[in-house]
Amino acid sequence: MAGGGGFTNAPGAGGKQYPGGMTWYVAMTCIVAATGGLIFGYDIGISGGVTSMDSFLIKFFPDVYRKEKADQSTNQYCKFDSVALTLFTSSLYLAALLASLVASTVTRSFGRKPSMLFGGLTFLAGAAINGAAKDVAMLIVGRMLLGVGVGFANQMNVPSTIVGAGLPIRNGTCQISRLAQHRIPDDDNHWHPSCQPHQLRYFQDRGWLGMASLVLPDTPNSLIERGHEDKARAMLRKIRGTNQIDEEFNDLVVASEESRAVKHPWRNIMQRKYRPQLMMSVLIPFFQQFTGINVVMFYAPVLFKTVGFGDEASLMSAVITGTVNMFATLVSIFAVDRVGRRKLFLEGGLQMIIGQTIVGTLIAIKFGTTGEAVIPKTYAVFVVMFICVYVVAFAWSWGPLGWLVPSEIFPLEIRSAGQSINVSVNMFFTFIVAQAFLAMLCKMKFGLFYFFAGWCVIMTVFIYYFLPETKNVPIEEMVLVWKNHWFWCRFIEDSDVHVGSLETGKAKKNSDNNA
């Protein structure tokens, strides 16, 4: 889903095991850094919560309110169709796209601490503008500032030893935050135009990220890259909890020197031998957004209102989907390095296809093409149940893996370009889907769910044929994975392989084929 990014393997770590391990200092640092995900999840979900509230619609979108309150015999598919309403939601992601490109340069030059601090300050500015909003223009400006905060706050490193779980953990904080925000409008379900402090409660709690970033340390590799080797040694001792850090420190120095020697990552990634990584950095985030997950998560209350729930019931239904999303993400944290990436991708894809198809069919039976019907509560419960089947599948497959797999396949010479492409494509199509959804629901009706189910079929087939397993593969040996793949091997010459035994790789490939 949208959000994420910024997670990287430690340069030069590869498959080595260094002395020391996870310390409380590292754990607390990761928690502070992951607040970028916490706040991002809040901002994703809060738009869906407030756009289902009558008092919010009356103040900012009166035309939508009038359509929503029209007689139930009117077309239910088109009640919330409004360009301005969707722009309120999607503007955050367009701003996050642009900011993430700038943030990577700022982080490389000044470290992650200033990036997190700037992200916290822009979150606070966006919250203030949204809280004081008098019209739609102010709402959109505030959302765009929140998007800038997302782009800068998502600069984070996870130690290579826990990167498999690190991304799902970051995704988990996003889901916890979404779950929390669904309760906020439900507490009194009103938006008081005359009471600005009350408005702030829907857009608060972001400024503390700026304060938290003041205690967030720079990573050792970032300090080395900026010439602070003594500070880097001290930080590495603190992270590892041991004084035996010479080998790892020397490897980081070598990796930093290699990184500085990389002059043209954007030119490098266009080389033929990097075609597999380039295609994955584009297609995986593209497919992730065309699962349709953000349709559910952005507009859950609106969607449930459309299929027959009332105001409070729609928010409660969103809480249900948020809860199953959170627990399914926990499953991913424990399964990703045991089961493997491909199996989770394939199982999740098949489950999403089933969930989307059944939801579309249930809505088609009641609403047909006219959109004129009232769904009984019992029937609506079945709709919610299969939406949960779909959400669970995404949360333990395409949600975390859509970020994890691209993050672990880029060699040093294309890493910065590959990660920038991955984040930018994700944010761009998040914006597209968010902006187009309500119009698509109005025009495609129940067919919208079949549309996304069709994309789930395409992406599942793609994973089956074109994505090799990357579990437990050191980054320096990743080239062998592509070289031994039936399709990608045509882009990689024998001379491009500088690690391991190519003959061993060929023997393994023949063994796999015979099996």
Contact between 202 and 46 under an 8 Å Cβ cutoff? The reply is yes
Please answer whether residues 189 and 144 qualify as being in contact, where contact means their C-beta atoms are separated by less than 8 angstroms: no
CATH of domain 21-180+201-216: 1.20.1250.20
Cα 30 from chain centre: 17
pLDDT score at 118: 83
What is the pLDDT, as a whole number, of residue 281?
Answer: 93
pLDDT in the model for residue 12: 39
CB atoms within 10 A of CB 510: 11
CATH 2.70.98.70 matches 273-493: no
User: Of all residues in the chain, what percent are helix, strand and coil, respectively (each to 5)?
Assistant: 75, 0, 25
pLDDT of 32: 64
pLDDT tens column, 212-271: 666 666 778 778 878 888 988 998 888 888 888 888 888 888 877 877 777 788 889 999
| pLDDT score recorded for residue 156 | 55
| Separation of alpha carbons 294 and 291, rounded Å | 8
pTM for this prediction: 0.76
Task: Give the model's pLDDT for residue 320.
Answer: 75
| List of residues 6+ apart from 346 with CB closer than 8 A | 460, 463, 464
pLDDT of residue 358: 94
Within 10 A of 503 (CB to CB), how many other CB atoms are there?
A: 8
CA dist 335 and 399 (Å) reads: 14
The residue behind tokens 């999403």 is 352
Kindly report the number of other CB atoms within 10 A of residue 432's CB atom: 16
Burial class (CB in 10 A: 0-12, 13-18, 19+), 243: exposed
* Residue with the two structure tokens 């590292």: 26
Scan for tokens 């490939």, then name that residue. 509
Enumerate residue ranges in the chain where pLDDT < 50: 1-15, 158-170, 172-173, 175-204, 501-515
**Would 21-180+201-216 and 273-493 be classified into the same CATH topology?**
yes
For the beta carbon of residue 38, count every other beta carbon within 10 angstroms.
Answer: 22
Closest by Cα among 32, 47, 314 to 178: 47
For 411-469, give the secondary structure using H, E and C. Answer: CHHHHHHHHHHHHHHHHHHHHHHHHHHHHHHHHHCCHHHHHHHHHHHHHHHHHHHHCCC
Q: Are the C-beta atoms of residues 88 and 136 closer than 8 Å to each other?
A: yes
Residues 442 and 81 sit within 8 Å (Cβ to Cβ): yes
Domain ranges of the chain: 21-180+201-216, 273-493
